[in-house]
């Protein structure tokens, strides 16, 4: 067994060496995905990739596909030569969604020898909790969430050591307000003025969107925000909350929840017969296949599922779009026999994160050499980092003190239709299902408004 | 069950002897020896002055958390173990302590003043939630205190949001003495010393009139009342002391984690604190140390060091199960199984086993 | 003209009231499961939420049309039936052969039900009943029985650890994917399963009243279960002996009741009740790992009704459901769902220290 591993490693090393030597500028990993050229050969090194999160707690539905994405991406990229020949090793721990445990895991990671070069997190609350400490410990964090406090601090004036892979939740909401104001009578063919009510999960994730700044910005765009209702993720029914918001005049519900929350809202809207009267929209997590899979049991009078037509923010390229990056992820997804339920944003994000990590380390090593590779140096690279992860599936530009993604599109959840316009039905595990499809509504990415406290786009 | 079994013929000859905390030379050596080892820990890490890498740096944090949670569990021990009033609201009381300490510090007060004020404030809140103990008993009382677990975070999230940042974490200012920022080893020693002081205070409370009244109430509150003990007043005192300890622990937790959030103090944490007490052995003063130590070392030391091995090994053993599922199941399953085995083998807690061990050692070579 | 109740449109208040009652049905079922165990053994079961999750997932698995291995099915159902039959008291005049024959016939029937894939609902129901009963029995045998005679609180903590192991087991077997459970559903023209349409009644107090069908079914089932339990505890030998055991384990043993078997049966019943609550909740919102947290929200219901009272569990569940929804309608969900159930609980406990219908114990020195 051991001999086999060594042979394998030798072959990998040789192949890597050959590939590295054969490519003059830039390293093409797959069609459309290019990493910077390696100036140093790191063969023989093992570079750890640290992440922790809620593998077994309430956010587990998003974590497990993410973990699957990590493990498949590592298998793929390590097979393609890793980071200039160095193998990437996944160090992952389970916090169970408990903040105490997050703190203790972080403490264990931050005292590892050598220190982590980068830490990947995706819980807003974890990032906010650890913001000060990662700066002291000089460990940059790649966060897949849009927490203003985590990225820019309590007064939103100090960009810290945390870099986000999506726009801030406040800015996402602002971008939605701006779009909905312009599309209300035209694309959406609605009457009157758009009025938004927030309906999200209790906790720092769900409550991130409704701030005085976003409300003021939306008002300036001609969209009124009538307040928010925050329900527990265990809720069986949100009809009372919907009724409250609708009786205040809301004709759009904006939600910051994960799949089960969004599906529940969509279902209860249909139950109350409000599916035509009230639009459902939400942050980027709302546009996920799991929402489409979970929410297709309740049908609108039109015969389509209650989640059909949910709007959301789409700051990346989705699986269903033709793109070499998504094609690669799809190929690996199929090759690893992942279940269709895992085909969502989390798996894609996991893949993108590993790709970004590789590029980040290559650039840092090229600048300072492999012996000076530290978190502080990685942070310096991040401060001027511009990268099209997976060839443009995710587009990162963290120059000029920006810590999040500043461009987005608006997308919509729908269901795959055949040539005749009828929905396509597939059979999974003996159950007939519709196939959720997420497609952009606006083809061009637009900049998101800056709605941090004191941000540039906040109305004075 | 007596903690004071000594060979026959050995008697206390003075009241001072009868009341000392370390009743035998063996206890004395053990206590000081243990304290010495604990104080040595940060010196033996790779960042210590000797440059030896005997203790992993991560262990320092674990010991810090043990020291902090020990205070909260000792408070709970006074209430549950000695007075017999079950409380499921300890984490909420910790939240009160953590938030009041932090808010005071953010108003410019020094940590050294904010911490005791926060603890006292928590004590007052504890009194309010102790009021139902006048009428409510047993598990119903546990559930009445459970209400604290929901009402207090609600207050922190909603009406108090201007002070507490609502659902978002509240950053805690650094603690300083003059220009010197307390961090690293200094933070460790501060926590250990405060924790030690709290343990000594708790130990002394048990030896006072109040402590004896607590025990009388636990054993039979009607009988205690007939003996002239004002049961309700003492129950309230127990709630007050318990909450003060929780507030102290909360303030220290804020100091250690430098950021507090309502999520940190959920029902789960309260139940865990109670579990630590049961595992340690309720009603014995060493219980918090043993219980908290056992649970935290299990969770922060044993399980994380086992998981990479199992993550490597189990998928090969169970190829039909998705490896992601395996890694997601490890932490809860290992934790649960260990606690189950522990409770079956030692249902009365570690402190109980420790006493049995000490007694059998003293009585050797005779087994009885 | 609007019909207002305390400044709210009347139909919205009625809607909140009705939804609250229906949601309360699920709480009542959860509370029933907790009360059954508490009544029999004095243990408050913190693992109930995880038992719900597992029950619902077993149901989900059997509700899929994938066939099961006949060998495994017969082995499994044989084991479960053998274990379960030890708790049943056969009529005394039955011969040994008759008893064995009855069990064998049952075994064959269950096995056949579990193998077929034509009637998925029946298969899932039978399989889940067996599986969840077995789960209850195993929990009791492995973790609760060794603690008989130990401090009661150790057993309570034990259920906490059991919950963690059950969580690990669900993660291992099913992962954390959120699943729809189309059980109260019909097949529509496209061949897709579609949830039953809600019942809409228009023109009530100035608006439309919507009743969710799956919640209504859950409510009716909860009430039926309650009635079944009342009958069971009042008229069957097993039920009466369970009540006797709850009264005093020592006395029950003295009059020849098999106390240990009765405790085991209580856990098996609680397992089935948990599964039922899990299925009903899952049918309305899908099965997700957050389901385990729903049991926490039923705690006030248990305490409100009283830890030992079957009727109290039902009343408590309904009251908490109504309080939540009315509170949400008037003050918003943070007050209604997070604050009011506990404030009501505190008030009730201060007025009636053992809940509305709990046992008052006379204390003597």
Shortest CA distance from C339: residue in chain B = B151
Q: What percent of chain B has pLDDT over 90?
A: 48
A178 and A287 assigned to the same domain: yes
Section C123-150 average pLDDT: 91
Closest by CA position to B288, among listed B240, B242, B351: B351
Whether residues A176 and A290 fall in one domain: yes
Residue A12 has a pLDDT of: 54
User: What is the domain range of residue A76?
Assistant: 2-166+321-397
Residue A341 and residue C294: Cβ atoms within 8 Å?
Answer: no
Looking at residue B26, its pLDDT comes to 78
Question: Which residues of chain A make contact with B65, given a CB cutoff of 8 A?
Answer: 100, 104
Cα separation of B51 and B335, whole Å? Answer: 34
Q: What percent of chain C has pLDDT over 90?
A: 35
Residues A213 and A310 in one domain: yes
- Given a contact as 3+ CB pairs under 8 Å, which chains touch A? B, C
d(CA B71, CA B86): 17
B332 and chain A: CB distance < 8 Å anywhere?
Answer: yes
Which pLDDT score is estimated for A224? 95
| Alpha helices (runs of H) in chain B, residue ranges in sequence order | 15-19, 25-40, 57-76, 90-106, 111-130, 138-157, 161-164, 184-207, 209-219, 221-226, 231-257, 267-280, 287-297, 303-317, 323-345, 350-363
**A chain contacts of residue C288, beta-carbon cutoff 8 Å:** 61, 260
Asked whether residue C76 carries a pLDDT value surpassing 60, the answer given is yes
pLDDT in tens, B1-33: 344 566 667 777 887 777 777 777 777 888 899
Instruction: Choose among C284, C144, C312, C122: nearest CA to C211.
Output: C284
Domain ranges of chain C: 4-66+117-187+197-351
Q: Which chains touch B (3 or more CB pairs under 8 A)?
A: A, C
Per-residue confidence (pLDDT) for residue A22, from 0 to 100? 45
Q: Are A196 and A174 in contact (CB under 8 A)?
A: no
Out of C23, C285, C289, closest to residue A61 by CB:
C289
Mutation site for A-interface testing, chosen from C192, C219, C284 by largest number of A Cβ within 10 Å = C192
CATH number of the domain within which A391 lies: 3.40.50.2300
Q: For residues A156 and A173, state if they share a domain.
A: no
B181-184, long-range: CB < 8 A, 24+ apart: B184/B42, B184/B47
Q: Which residues of A are less than 8 Å from B328 in CB distance?
A: 55-56, 60, 63-64, 67, 94
For position A8, what pLDDT does the model report?
Answer: 54
Whether A132 maps to a domain, the answer reads yes
- Other C-beta atoms closer than 10 Å to the C-beta of A6 total 10
Of the pLDDT bands very low, low, confident and very high (cuts 50, 70, 90), residue C87 is low
* A94 within domain boundaries: yes
Q: How far is A106 from chain B (nearest CA, A)?
A: 9
Please report the pLDDT score of residue B1 as a whole number. 36
Query: Which tens digit of pLDDT belongs to each residue from B242-273?
Result: 999 999 999 999 999 888 988 889 888 998 89
Query: Residue A10: what pLDDT?
Result: 54
In CATH, what number is assigned to the domain containing residue B166?
1.10.3470
Q: Give the separation between CA C61 and CA C65, rounded to whole angstroms.
A: 9
Spans of chain A, pLDDT less than 70 = 1-30, 429-430
Are A84 and A146 found together in one domain?
yes
Q: Which residue has the higher pLDDT, A50 or B316?
A: A50
B335–chain C Cβ distance below 8 A for any pair? yes
| Same domain as A378, residue A242 | no
Mutate: best of B153, B259, B321, partner A, most A CBs <10 A: B259
Number of domains comprising chain B: 1
pLDDT, tens digit (0-9, with 9 covering 90-100), for B99-140: 999 999 999 999 999 999 999 999 999 999 998 888 888 888
Mean pLDDT of chain C: 87
Smallest Cβ distance to C293: which of A234, A241, A423?
A234
Confirm or reject CATH 3.40.30 for domain C4-66+117-187+197-351, answering yes or no. Answer: no
* Residues in a beta bridge with A427: A432
Per-residue model confidence (pLDDT) at position A27:
64
Report yes or no: A271 at the B interface, CB cutoff 8 Å: no
Domain of residue B22 covers 15-363
Torsion-angle region of residue B179: left (phi > 0), alpha (psi -120 to 50) or beta? alpha
Chain C interface test: which of A231, A297, A433 (most C C-beta within 10 Å)? A297
**Domain identity same for A91 and A135:** yes
Does some domain include residue A402? no
ipTM: 0.89
Q: Do A202 and C179 touch (CB under 8 A)?
A: no
CB–CB of A244 and C291 under 8 A?
no
User: Inter-chain contact A272–C338, Cβ cutoff 8 Å?
Assistant: no
Name the domain count of chain A.
2
- What average pLDDT score do residues B70-79 get? 96
Span of A117-131, B155-169, C80-94, C266-280 with lowest mean pLDDT = C80-94
- Work out the minimum CA distance from A153 to partner chain B, whole angstroms: 9
Residues A179 and A304 in one domain: yes
Cβ contact C168–B322 (<8 Å): no
How many angstroms away from the CA of A206 is the closest CA of chain B?
A: 9
- Same domain? For A269 and A228 the reply is yes
Residue B159 lies in a domain: yes
Residue B283: in which H helix or E strand, if any?
none
The answer to whether residue A452 sits within a structural domain is no
Give the pLDDT band (50/70/90) at residue C106. confident
Q: What is the pLDDT of residue B142?
A: 84
Do A150 and A31 fall into the same domain? Answer: yes
pLDDT higher than 90, residue C50 = yes
Question: What is the b/e burial string over B81-90, where b = at least 16 CB atoms within 10 angstroms of the residue's CB?
Answer: bbbbbbbbbb
């Amino acid at each position: 067994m051991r001999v086999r591993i060594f042979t394998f490693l030798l072959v990998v090393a040789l192949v890597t060496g050959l590939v590295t030597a054969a490519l003059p500028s830039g390293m093409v990993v797959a069609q459309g995905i290019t990493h910077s050229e390696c100036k140093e050969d790191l063969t023989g090194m093992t570079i750890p990739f640290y992440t922790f999160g809620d593998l077994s707690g309430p956010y587990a539905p998003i974590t497990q596909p993410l973990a699957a994405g990590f493990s498949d991406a590592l298998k793929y990229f390590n097979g393609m030569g890793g980071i200039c020949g160095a193998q990437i090793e996944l160090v992952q721990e389970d916090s169970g969604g408990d903040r105490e445990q997050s703190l203790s895991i972080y403490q264990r990671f931050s005292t590892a020898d050598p220190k982590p070069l980068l830490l990947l997190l995706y819980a807003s609350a974890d990032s906010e909790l650890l913001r000060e400490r990662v700066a002291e410990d000089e460990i940059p964090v790649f966060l897949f969430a849009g927490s203003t406090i985590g990225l820019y601090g309590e007064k939103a004036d100090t960009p810290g050591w945390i870099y986000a892979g999506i726009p801030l939740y406040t800015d996402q909401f602002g971008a939605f307000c701006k779009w909905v104001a312009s599309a209300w009578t035209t694309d959406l063919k609605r009457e009157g003025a758009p009025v938004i009510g927030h309906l999200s999960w209790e906790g720092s994730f769900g409550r991130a969107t409704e701030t005085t700044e976003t409300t003021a910005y939306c008002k300036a765009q001609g969209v009124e925000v009538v307040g928010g209702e925050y329900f527990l993720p265990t809720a069986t029914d949100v009809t009372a909350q919907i009724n409250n918001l609708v009786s205040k005049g809301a004709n759009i519900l904006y939600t910051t929840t994960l799949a089960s929350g969004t599906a529940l809202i969509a279902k209860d809207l249909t139950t109350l017969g409000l599916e035509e009267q009230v639009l459902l929209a939400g942050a980027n997590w709302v546009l996920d296949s799991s929402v489409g899979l979970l929410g297709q049991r309740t049908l609108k009078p039109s015969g389509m599922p209650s989640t059909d037509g949910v709007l959301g923010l789409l700051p990346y390229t989705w699986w269903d779009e033709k793109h070499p990056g998504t094609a690669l992820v799809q190929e690996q997804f199929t090759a690893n026999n992942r279940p269709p339920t895992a085909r969502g944003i989390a798996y894609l994000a996991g893949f993108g994160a590993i790709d970004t990590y590789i590029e980040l380390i290559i650039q840092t090593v090229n600048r300072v050499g492999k012996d000076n590779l530290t978190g502080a140096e990685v942070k310096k690279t991040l401060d001027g980092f511009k990268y099209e992860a997976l060839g443009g599936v995710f587009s990162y530009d963290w120059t000029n003190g920006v810590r999040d993604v500043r461009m987005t599109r608006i997308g919509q959840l729908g269901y795959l239709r055949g040539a005749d316009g009828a929905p396509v039905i597939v059979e999974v595990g003996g159950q007939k299902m519709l196939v959720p499809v997420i497609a952009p509504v606006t083809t061009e990415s637009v900049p998101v408004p800056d709605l941090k406290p004191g941000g540039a786009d906040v109305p004075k | 069950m007596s903690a004071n079994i000594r060979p026959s013929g050995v008697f206390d000859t003075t009241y001072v002897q009868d009341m000392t905390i370390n009743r035998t030379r063996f206890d004395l050596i053990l206590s000081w020896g243990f304290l010495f080892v604990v104080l040595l820990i940060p010196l033996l890490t790779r960042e210590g002055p000797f440059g030896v890498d005997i203790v992993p740096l991560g262990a320092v944090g674990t010991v810090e958390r043990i020291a902090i949670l020990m205070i909260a569990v000792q408070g709970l021990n006074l209430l549950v173990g000695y007075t017999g009033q079950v409380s499921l609201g300890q984490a909420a009381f910790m939240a009160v302590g953590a938030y009041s300490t932090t808010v005071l510090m953010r108003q410019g007060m020094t940590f050294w003043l904010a911490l005791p004020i926060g603890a006292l404030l928590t004590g007052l809140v504890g009194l309010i939630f102790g009021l139902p103990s006048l009428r409510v008993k047993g598990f119903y009382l546990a559930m009445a205190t459970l209400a604290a677990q929901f009402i207090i975070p609600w207050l922190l999230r909603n009406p108090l949001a201007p002070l507490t940042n609502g659902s978002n974490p509240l950053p805690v200012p650094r603690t300083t003495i003059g220009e010197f920022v307390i961090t690293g080893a200094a933070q460790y020693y501060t926590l250990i010393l405060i924790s030690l002081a709290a343990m000594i205070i708790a130990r002394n409370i048990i030896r006072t009139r109040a402590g004896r009244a607590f025990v009388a109430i636990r054993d039979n509150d009607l009988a205690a009342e007939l003996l002239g003990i004002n049961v309700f007043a003492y129950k309230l005192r127990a709630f007050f002391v318990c909450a003060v300890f929780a507030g102290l622990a909360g303030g220290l937790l804020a100091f250690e984690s430098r950021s507090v959030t309502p999520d940190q103090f959920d029902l789960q944490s309260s139940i865990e604190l109670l579990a630590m007490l049961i595992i340690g052995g309720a009603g014995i003063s060493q219980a918090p140390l043993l219980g908290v130590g056992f649970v935290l070392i299990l969770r922060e030391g044993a399980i994380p060091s086992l998981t990479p091995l199992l993550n490597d090994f189990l998928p090969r053993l169970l190829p039909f199960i998705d490896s992601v599922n395996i890694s997601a199941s490890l932490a809860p399953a290992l934790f649960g199984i260990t606690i189950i085995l522990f409770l079956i083998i030692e249902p009365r807690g570690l402190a109980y086993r420790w006493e049995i061990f000490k007694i059998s050692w003293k009585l050797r070579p005779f087994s009885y | 003209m609007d019909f207002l109740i305390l400044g709210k449109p009347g139909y919205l208040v009625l809607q909140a009231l009705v939804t609250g009652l229906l949601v309360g049905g699920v709480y009542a079922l959860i509370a029933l499961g907790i009360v059954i165990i508490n009544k029999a053994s004095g243990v408050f079961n913190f693992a109930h939420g995880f038992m719900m999750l597992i029950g619902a997932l077993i149901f989900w698995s059997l509700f899929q049309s994938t066939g099961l291995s006949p060998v495994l099915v017969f082995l499994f159902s044989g084991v479960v039936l053998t274990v379960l039959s030890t708790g049943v008291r056969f009529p005394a005049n039955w011969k040994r052969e008759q008893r064995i024959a009855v069990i064998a016939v049952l075994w064959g029937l269950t096995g056949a039900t579990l193998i077929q894939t034509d009637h998925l609902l029946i298969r899932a129901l039978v399989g889940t009943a067996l599986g969840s009963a077995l789960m209850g029995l195993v929990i009791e045998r492995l973790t609760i029985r060794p603690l008989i005679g130990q401090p009661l609180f150790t057993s309570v903590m034990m259920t906490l650890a059991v919950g963690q192991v059950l969580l690990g087991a669900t993660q291992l077997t099913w992962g954390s994917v959120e699943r729809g459970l189309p059980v109260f559903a019909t097949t529509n023209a496209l061949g897709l399963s579609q949830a039953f349409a809600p019942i809409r009644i228009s023109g009530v107090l100035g608006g439309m009243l919507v009743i969710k069908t799956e919640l209504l079914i859950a409510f009716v089932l909860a009430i039926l279960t309650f009635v079944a339990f009342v009958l069971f505890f009042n008229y069957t030998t097993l039920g009466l002996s369970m009540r006797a055991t709850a009264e005093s384990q020592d006395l029950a043993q003295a009059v020849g009741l098999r106390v240990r078997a009765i405790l085991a049966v209580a856990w098996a019943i609680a397992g089935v009740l948990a599964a039922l609550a899990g299925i009903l909740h899952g049918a309305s919102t899908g099965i997700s790992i957050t389901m385990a947290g729903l049991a926490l929200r039923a705690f006030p219901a248990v305490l409100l009704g009283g830890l030992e009272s079957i009727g109290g569990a039902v009343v408590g569940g309904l009251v908490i459901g109504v309080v939540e929804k009315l509170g949400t309608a008037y003050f918003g969900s943070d007050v209604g769902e997070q604050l009011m159930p506990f404030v009501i609980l505190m008030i009730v406990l201060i007025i009636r220290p053992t809940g509305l219908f709990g046992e008052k114990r006379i204390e003597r020195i």
